[in-house]
A and B are shown apart, each in its own frame.
Chain A
C-alpha cells in the first residue's frame, strides 16, 4: 500500500518564524534610528510654539538651550525624546535654566528681578513639559510619518 500525505517540518517552520521576529525587531530598532531626526524636529516645532512663541522677553536674552538640546535616543527596544540638560547652565540651586521655568521664581529664584520689587511675567511658573508632551503625542497619533519610517526599515529586513 502506497503511503500518502506530507510531512510538515514544524521545527523548521518555528525556526523561520523566530528568524522573522528577529528581523522585524532589528527593523524596528533601525527605524527608530532613522526616525530620530524627524522626532527631534517635531518636538522642536512644538517647543518653539508652546514655549518661545507665546512670549518675547524684555528682561533677559534667550539662549534657546531648551529647543537646541532636544534629543531622540534609542535605548534598548524604545526610543526616548527629551531635552538633554547635560552641560546647560544651572541656577544657584543646581537646576538647569530651562527647567526653572517649570516651577518659576517661587521655587527656583531668579538672580535678576525688577528693581522696584514688582512681579514680572517671566517669574511665573509655566508648565511647558505637559503642553509640549500633549501636542507631541497627539501629532504622533495622527501623523503616519514616523510609523512609515519604521515600516520601511522593517520592510528592508524581511
Chain B
C-alpha cells in the first residue's frame, strides 16, 4: 500500500506537523532540547509504550480495542522478577516463558471475542482485572531484579557518538516498529486486518479467515505486551504490580494521534511511532520547562487526543459524504479505502 496524498492521510500528515511543531518549539525555547541525546532518549523512555502501541495499532485497525495492556506489562514484570529472584531461574527461559504466556493470554482473549461474540472492551476489561490481580497474587511489593545476565541485557547496545549510547531496548523498539510496518503492508495477515476493520461482513463474504486473523491479532498483541513488560523490567530493573496503571490510555492516545481511525480499517504503524514520540516529546517538554507539574502531561494528552478525534471525525464524515450518501456510510467508505 503506497502512501498517497488523499484524505485518509491527512491525520498522519497532521501528526507529523504536530511533532515538528513541538520539537521546533522545544528547540527554540530550551537550550539542549535539540540534541541527539534527547532524541535518542525519546526511544529509550518510550520503548515499552511504543512496543505495545504497535500491537494496539493492529487491534484498532481490525476494529477492536484492548484495555488489558497496562496490567499485562505489570504482570510480566512481576513474574520475571519472582522467577529470577525467588526461584533462581535463569532470565532467558523466564523471558521466553513470559512471551509464551503473553501470547497465550492474548490468544485466549481473541478466542473469547471471536467464538462467543463478546465485545472486545468487555473481554479485555476482564483481562485487565485478571492480569493485575495475578500480579498482586505474585507479590504486593516492588521486587528488584539482580542478575548478571539481566544487567548484561540492559547494558547491551552500541555507541552512536562519543556521548550517545543506544541501548538494547531502543533497538528492540525500532525492530518491533519495522516488524509492524512489514506485517501491515507486505503480508496477507496485514491486509486481512485492514479488511476486517473496514467491514467485517464484507470480509466474511469475501471468504477471508476473519476468526483466525482476529485471534492472531490478539495473540500478536499479547506477545508484544509481554515483550513490553520485559523491556519495562529491563528499564526499571524491577517488577512492580502497580506499574503502568492507565498505560492503556496513553497507548490508545498514541495510536489515535498517529492517525489510526478508531472505527477501524485505516491506520499506519509508522503513524503510531510518531504518536508515541509526540507523547514522549510532551513529557520532555514539561521536564525541560521545569515549573509545570507532571499532571499537565495528562491534560495535554487529553487535549491532543480530543483535537485529533475531532479531526478524524470531520474527515471521515466528509469522506463518507462523498463515497456513500447518508450518515452511516463511513464504514462502507473505509472498506473501500482498505
- Do A and B come from the same complex? no
A interface, CB within 8 angstroms of B: none
